[in-house]
Chains A and B, each alone.
Chain A
């Protein structure tokens, strides 16, 4: 019985002996694996992009909105004829009684003209509290955020985004200046750092003031929403139950709010993108199947081409098993090399995608790369079983007779 190392060396020699054929098969296998790697990298990149966007919103958050949603995760229906009760600052404060809630930030929002001396612009004015900065994981470029204190203290201070600062103040230092929002005057105490990616809001165009001041400007005692941060991820369901219980108690037993957990939304996105990744990976895997059939075809041709060689090997004492092994080794080497090549090309492709679209973390998941390589080597070898068997069964007399 021939030694395994000799079988491998002989198969390698045969592959080297038919360069063009080997090269074409490597390309076919390589394209298949590379397609799997790049496409799953794109899918995974998209999934992580969305996941990261949510993470930048802060972790284990719950959002409380006035009005009840009829479907999970949907928009609150205020069109049902029932007018929900206001969500008030007292409601917000009451939520802190739950031991599953770490901190809260009430939000009151509206648009207003913001001006300094002759310059003015329309801006989104966000009323909130000191904890908002930590909950949203934003940071300050200069100065400080809203002072800690009673939620209903309407202090005349504001924090502005970078665009607002540039357009109103230009080169003049903004800290300490008094600007005008509607009829009220506010002192600038901080400037927000642009926080990069964040869903929904552009931090650079914001003006942030104490929530009580915002309620005064917009003359609206109801909050837009309350952002709640649970103590931990595990606390989220209990925090949600607590919120519903506390507000119901305060609203005469009426459950007229909606609580959205960030997790639920994220999980939905996650499922969608994972399914998408699997789908594109699966489509790419079809090309691996095609490559497998190509390998079978090529091996069948090789067996026909090399009939004299097979006959000779048999005459020299090769058992049918040895012949089978020789051809299987050839196919396995071919598909492994092709898979290796595809892996390299695929990684290079993913890298190029990341270079072209820096926001997209296009890394192929390890399981997809592994599956791609395994499927490639598996189909390559499996599809060669038939040609290899044919070679092993070849009648040596007939094989030698042909020239």
Chain B
């Protein structure tokens, strides 16, 4: 079986002044379809950079990245944009909803960019929002929603194109415990339905729930292990 994500010798260098910083220093990682993976590590360890590379938001300086068996580092900007649109859903710490658009319109954005007709967009967005318990919040703008509701809108937006992969960068970092647990619950539910889920977090409670945990230090994988059943379900 081909891995959904396969990274080989991925490096990402940043030039700061006349120094070169190795944010990613030779990452080898394979993620199978349907996996639930947590990436942890201290601040500045390169875990967000890794997520950006996997999400095609950032190009690695060196190395090979295959998504569904296709080398995506060779794609043009336009082609990468299309892959992001159809295959990858993003959930961010700060939600990143467009403030002037309603929940419904925010969820429709990826479909709008894909050129899907308005009628179909409206139906699909409504269905997804409905499923996430936001049916009565469809026409509210982000500033009229609670943090947890905003993140649920963002998840609706990430899933409306039915992607193979969801990348979540500190999805609970800006939420209270209760909303955070709710959001993680939704993401895990999506994972249970077959969507591959990669979460970047430094919340050990959340990391402990993932079936596989990759720990990064100084741009390199320090440990990569499946969940120890004895220590699971502590969150």
Interface residues of A (CB under 8 A from B): 1-3, 6, 10, 13-14, 16-17, 308-309, 311-322, 396-397, 400, 403
Q: Is B85 close to A, CB under 8 A? A: yes
Docked-complex contact B57 and A316, CB < 8 angstroms: no
Interface residues on B, range: 20 to 34
Which residue of chain A has the shortest Cβ distance to B98 in the bound complex?
A: A309
In the complex, what's the smallest C-beta–C-beta distance from B113 to chain A, in angstroms? 5
Q: What residues on A are CB-neighbors of B82 within 8 Å? A: 317, 319
A16 and B98 CA atoms in complex are apart in Å by: 13
Q: Is B193 close to A, CB under 8 A? A: no
For the complex of A and B, 9 pairs with smallest distance between CB atoms: A317-B85, A17-B100, A319-B81, A312-B96, A316-B110, A319-B78, A317-B84, A396-B57, A315-B90
A2 is contacted by which of B55, B57, B90, B112 (Cβ under 8 Å)?
B112
Given A397-B52, A400-B92: A317 in contact with B113 (beta carbons within 8 A): yes
Docked-complex contact B90 and A316, CB < 8 angstroms: yes
In the complex, what's the smallest C-beta–C-beta distance from A318 to chain B, in angstroms? 5
B85 is contacted by which of A6, A312, A316, A396 (Cβ under 8 Å)?
A316
Interface residues of B (CB under 8 A from A): 52, 55, 57-58, 77-78, 81-82, 84-86, 90, 92, 94, 96, 98-101, 109-110, 112-115, 117-118, 157, 161
Which residue of chain A has the shortest Cβ distance to B87 in the bound complex?
A: A317
Docked-complex contact B114 and A317, CB < 8 angstroms: yes
Can you list 23 A-B contacts with CB-CB less than 8 angstroms, sorted by A residue number? A2-B115, A6-B112, A6-B115, A6-B118, A10-B112, A16-B100, A312-B96, A312-B98, A314-B57, A315-B55, A315-B57, A315-B90, A316-B84, A316-B85, A316-B110, A317-B84, A317-B110, A317-B113, A318-B113, A319-B78, A319-B82, A320-B81, A400-B57
In the complex, what's the smallest C-beta–C-beta distance from B200 to chain A, in angstroms? 13
In the complex, what's the smallest C-beta–C-beta distance from A312 to chain B, in angstroms? 5
Docked-complex contact A313 and B113, CB < 8 angstroms: yes
A1 and B82 CA atoms in complex are apart in Å by: 9
Q: What residues on A are CB-neighbors of B100 within 8 Å? A: 13-14, 16-17
Q: What residues on B are CB-neighbors of A312 within 8 Å? A: 96, 98
Q: What residues on A are CB-neighbors of B84 within 8 Å? A: 314-317
Which residue of chain B has the shortest Cβ distance to A393 in the bound complex?
A: B77
Given A397-B58, A400-B92, A400-B96: A316 in contact with B101 (beta carbons within 8 A): no
B96 is contacted by which of A308, A318, A321, A322 (Cβ under 8 Å)?
A308
A318 and B98 CA atoms in complex are apart in Å by: 14
The listed residue with most A CB atoms (<10 A of its CB), out of B98, B110, B114, B117, is B98
A311 and B161 CA atoms in complex are apart in Å by: 18
Which residue of chain A has the shortest Cβ distance to B117 in the bound complex?
A: A3
Which residue of chain A has the shortest Cβ distance to B79 in the bound complex?
A: A319
Docked-complex contact B109 and A313, CB < 8 angstroms: yes
Q: What residues on A are CB-neighbors of B58 within 8 Å? A: 396-397
Q: What residues on B are CB-neighbors of A308 within 8 Å? A: 94, 96
In the complex, what's the smallest C-beta–C-beta distance from B95 to chain A, in angstroms? 10
Docked-complex contact B77 and A320, CB < 8 angstroms: yes
Docked-complex contact B113 and A2, CB < 8 angstroms: yes
A397 and B110 CA atoms in complex are apart in Å by: 18
User: A2-B114, A320-B77, A322-B113 given. 19 additional CB < 8 A pairs?
Assistant: A2-B112, A2-B113, A2-B115, A16-B100, A308-B96, A311-B96, A312-B96, A313-B109, A315-B57, A315-B90, A316-B85, A316-B90, A317-B81, A317-B82, A318-B113, A319-B78, A397-B58, A400-B57, A400-B96
B81 is contacted by which of A10, A318, A400 (Cβ under 8 Å)?
A318
In the complex, what's the smallest C-beta–C-beta distance from B140 to chain A, in angstroms? 16
